[in-house]
A and B are shown apart, each in its own frame.
Chain A
Amino acid sequence: MKVGLFIPCYINQLYPQVGQATLELLEKLNVEVVYPSGQTCCGQPMANSGYESESIGTYHHFVNNFKDFDYIVTPSGSCAYHVKKHYDIIPQTDEVTGVRNNVYELCDFLLNVLKIEDLDASFPRKVGVHKSCHGLRGLRLGSCSERVTPEYSYIEEVLKKVKGVELMPVQRGDECCGFGGTFAVAEEAVSVKMGKDKIKDHFESGVEVITATDTSCLMHLEGLVNRNKQPLKILHVAEILNSNL
């Protein structure tokens, strides 16, 4: 099994520790992981802003980097979803469909491909899960409150394998945090209000650490927490899964 590690652009530049945790975690699980050098982005920033045509070059670049792997694993539900859902505007060669089929969000990969039973990790903290939207309603990494389906949540399932993690129930676990890419700037007022409400929900539920499958949501929440000096820690799920506290 050859696994290619995809580190999204903003994680690569601004949150390298998330990429490091993902790589170390996979290596700890004896996965043969390669990080193809020269990778950049999935193309989502332009496409979601209405400039899909400007992202075509990036799509081809992505496919070239990852076409030779059995699985492509990334610590982002949103980027994985973008590749799966929106790479339909370039010719559907075997390479393109292969990449689209084989891209996995990290928790999904751990549970459904590796089928991990145990994790040698411990994190004795009160953890609140923010169910990032593209992973939840795009990749269906869990059941959402709108639909009448059996309840499940991949991120919570893997977190339960970490010793000491206490999952704290929150009021609106699957409401959007308000990041939304360029939405965060174009609709600044509503974006900030959504983020503040999300943090308030977690804080009032006794959460010490907010986590998610996506650093993009977390960057927005962390920005608010830091500005308002709130006593909350923000960590990507990979950092918790790779912890030994």
Chain B
Amino acid sequence: MSHPKLASIFNKDEKKVDWHDKALWFVRHKRDKSVHSVKNWEELRNLGQGIKAHMLSNLDIYLEEFEANANKNGVEVHWAANAEEHNQIVHNILKENNAKKVVKSKSMLTEECHLNPHLEADGIEVIDTDLGERIVQLAKEPPSHIVLPAIHKNKHEVDELFQEHLGTEPCDGNPQYLTHEARKHLRQKFIEADAAITGVNFAIAETGGFVVCTNEGNADMGAHLAPVHIACMGVEKIIPKLEHLSVFLRLLGRSATGQPITTYSSHFKKPANGKKMHIVIVDNGRSEQLSRPDFRASLRCIRCGACMNTCPIYRRSGGHSYDATVPGPIGSILSPGKDLKKHSTLPFASTLCGSCSDVCPVKIDIHAQLYKWRQIITKETPQPFVKKKSMQIMGSVFTKPKQFETVGKIARWSLRNLPQSVINSKPNVWGKERDLPKGPKQSFDQWYNERQKNKNNS
């Protein structure tokens, strides 16, 4: 379904929209307070942008440097061109190690590759261990936000879900009780796990090490207990040097939730004695996006989710209305590159207000890219005949002042004289909940000419 359709379904429950909007605005506001306490915040954004842009221009070099250093550290590195290869590689590693129970910490990449269903089809149990991810996993839903995956659910919905799946007592949505129960449930899964899968926030070329940021410590819990650790990363997660890391850690926590730093910034470098560590480096359309000059900057994204929290449309349409792994403004410039037809309404799910670009910690010109995708979509995907034709007509009328004045005259006369029931009849979507202006008798043009005539006569 298109974004407008899904968004209008979400908007049928106005109270829920208000609640969703306020919850995310609260996060945006926390972010504001946090970044406004950093004097050189804009300089930090410049640095983040610059380092990522440099990395993207030299991606091949840094990827190979990273691989060589990771190998030296005793880590096995795998390359996946697409989602299928990624899933196959992870599956093979699990099979080699006879792993039947897997714990996973939050990774948007494995979501993107649909890893869970692939492994589950072979009887492997995959447990998402981030609390929000676990909630949506139990509800059999995709995450609706990349940092706050269950932000669309309130505590009462979680209460019911846990009663059904974890056998908890009804608690009127008591968050403390529910969190304790989730903790007990997840501890057991950590202890039993044969392998741990994590994402990667930053991979450092010069050391071969990588960093995973979580607020719950679940990546550490999984990776330190299980005998095998598989870390999955997109090619764009590379940063050249360790000294660059602090720039991104400062940007990430503040932009994501307003924290000065994410609670756990866990550094992984080499496998512990007797254990194994694998890194899967995934392309899955990224190098194609890199080849598009207008959209290359989208690969600078550090997945903080700030553009979602700030987006007035995201807040009022919900993450699921985007029907894409990464929702919100950044998703709306990434997804069309993967499937233009499926995601053709996403670049139009924006007023081009520019808030996303100004909030972005690595200064991606998100709204400018939305505008550019629009130009491509109208050329390369089927468009409604009426829209196409009316644009052609407008384009022509605006070059012919006389025609423009005639069209204006008819419009003004209609607005003045037709009954409201006709003006606001069904084809006028504007009129469903909004009045149109009363048509004035004179246009500015007519008024001005009359005024000039009177001036000249007097």
Contact = CB atoms under 8 A, between A and B. Distances in A.
* Interface SS of A by simple majority: helix
**Chain A contact residues (Cβ within 8 angstroms of B): what range?**
35 or more
B355 A58 contact: no
Contact of B439 (A14, A60, A134, A137): A14
A183 B351 contact: yes
A137 B354 contact: yes
Nearest to B377: A50
Interface string B349-384: 111111101110000000000010011011000000
Contact of A146 (B21, B313, B358, B429): B358
A148 interface: yes
Q: Per DSSP, are chain B's interface residues mostly helix, strand or loop, or mixed?
A: helix
Contacts of A175: 312, 355
A37 B448 CA distance: 9
B442 interface: yes
Interface in B317-359: 317, 347-355, 357-359
Contacts of A51: 375, 378, 388, 391-392, 395
A60 to B, nearest CB: 8
Contacts of B7: 187, 189-190
B122 interface: no
A190 B14 CA distance: 11
B430 A223 contact: yes
B351 A219 contact: no
Select the residue from B347, B391, B444 with max chain A CB neighbours within 10 A.
B444
B264 interface: no
B447 interface: yes
Interface stretch (A39-47, A101-109, A115-123, A204-212): A39-47
Contacts of A180: 350-353
A192 interface: yes
Contact of A54 (B8, B391, B448): B391
A192 B388 CA distance: 24
A144 B310 CA distance: 12
B164 interface: no
Given A58-B395, A146-B355, 20 more contacts: A12-B443, A37-B449, A41-B404, A47-B371, A53-B375, A86-B371, A133-B352, A146-B310, A146-B358, A187-B7, A187-B313, A187-B349, A189-B10, A189-B11, A190-B316, A193-B17, A222-B435, A223-B430, A223-B434, A223-B436
Interface of B: 3-4, 7-8, 10-11, 14, 17, 21, 25, 32, 35-36, 38-39, 41-42, 310, 312-313, 316-317, 347-355, 357-359, 371, 374-375, 377-378, 387-388, 391-392, 394-399, 401, 404, 408, 411-412, 415, 429-430, 432-437, 439-440, 442-445, 447-449
26 contacts: A7-B445, A15-B437, A43-B398, A49-B378, A50-B348, A51-B378, A52-B375, A54-B395, A57-B398, A133-B351, A136-B354, A144-B358, A146-B355, A146-B358, A176-B353, A185-B430, A186-B4, A188-B4, A190-B4, A190-B7, A194-B316, A194-B351, A197-B21, A219-B437, A223-B435, A227-B433
